[in-house]
Amino acid sequence: MGRLATTVAVLAFVGLCAGAAAAFSFTAKATGPDTATALLRFERFEGALGSSLGAAESVEDRKVLPALVARKVRADQATVARAVRVSTDPGSEVVAITATAPDTGGAEALASAYTDELIKASRRRLLGRAVEARRYVLSLLSGRGPSRVLTARRRFLTQERQRLDDFIAEVRARRNPRIVQRPQTRAAPTSRAALLSGLTAALAGLLVALGVAHVTGRSGRSSAPMEGPPPEASDPGPSRERRGAMTGRSF
């Protein structure tokens, strides 16, 4: 009966610890701001005159964007500038826009608004530079020179003009740049994770201890001696009364 009471008490304690862990996990606060990240991909220009048509050149000047985004999300311009980080991977022409806010909803809204404004500004810049490059190519095609040089030069310039025409068409069709990932939110790490981990470990230890105690108790019962009268001790010789009787008879 005592062992049963102990088992019930341990299980009750385990349940109380689990309830405390759940309660604390809901009341724990975040240790930092939430974030949201969107990804843009720029189509690489393959021609010889495309040094100014890459992703890095299109997003390097971001002085105007915070003001536009601030009006859209109704926030302070300086706050928007501090809360948004733009990074570019030149190898893949992918641009990451990461916004931070006190909650995931605010971070997602900020990243989405900034991404929209960045796309508009980038398309305007790409279109303007591509049109200017095409105008320059057309001016070269109208030039004069020796026939042999002119033939090779015209072939190269004609190919460059075609590449620029295709590039301009992609930008005007709103396919460059394009969104490859809508803002994905990530909640900030909280103290509840550490709390739950510690309590889980404690609960696991209690359960293991309970199991070991139960197994040990069963082993102790199986190894206990069987109940019954003790075996009679062997008598190496006659008892005291028998020796006295034998002595009386000898005299």
pLDDT of residue 71: 92
pLDDT of residue 12: 58
Token pair 């190919």: residue:
159
How far apart are the C-alpha atoms of 96 and 88, rounded to whole Å?
6
What is the pTM (predicted TM-score) of this model?
0.62
Helix, coil or strand: residue 212: helix
85: which residues sit within 8 A by CB, 6+ positions away? 97, 98, 99
pLDDT of residue 59: 75
Joined tokens for residue 113? 């608004």
pLDDT of residue 246: 43
pLDDT of residue 219: 52
For the chain, 251 residues long, give each residue's pLDDT as a single digit of tens.
556 656 655 555 555 555 555 555 555 454 568 999 999 999 988 888 767 788 877 776 667 899 999 999 999 999 999 999 999 887 889 999 999 999 999 999 999 999 999 999 999 999 999 999 999 999 888 876 565 557 888 899 999 999 999 999 999 999 999 999 999 998 766 545 545 555 565 565 556 555 645 555 555 555 545 444 544 444 445 544 444 444 444 33
pLDDT of residue 2: 59
pLDDT of residue 148: 58
Long-range CB contact pairs, 82-85, < 8 A, 24+: 83/110, 84/110, 84/111, 84/114
How far apart are the C-alpha atoms of 188 and 39, rounded to whole Å?
20
How far apart are the C-alpha atoms of 105 and 185, rounded to whole Å?
8
pLDDT of residue 191: 43
How far apart are the C-alpha atoms of 93 and 122, rounded to whole Å?
13
Amino acid sitting at position 48: A
pLDDT of residue 211: 60
How far apart are the C-alpha atoms of 247 and 165, rounded to whole Å?
140
Reference 54, options 95, 12, 15; nearest CA is 95
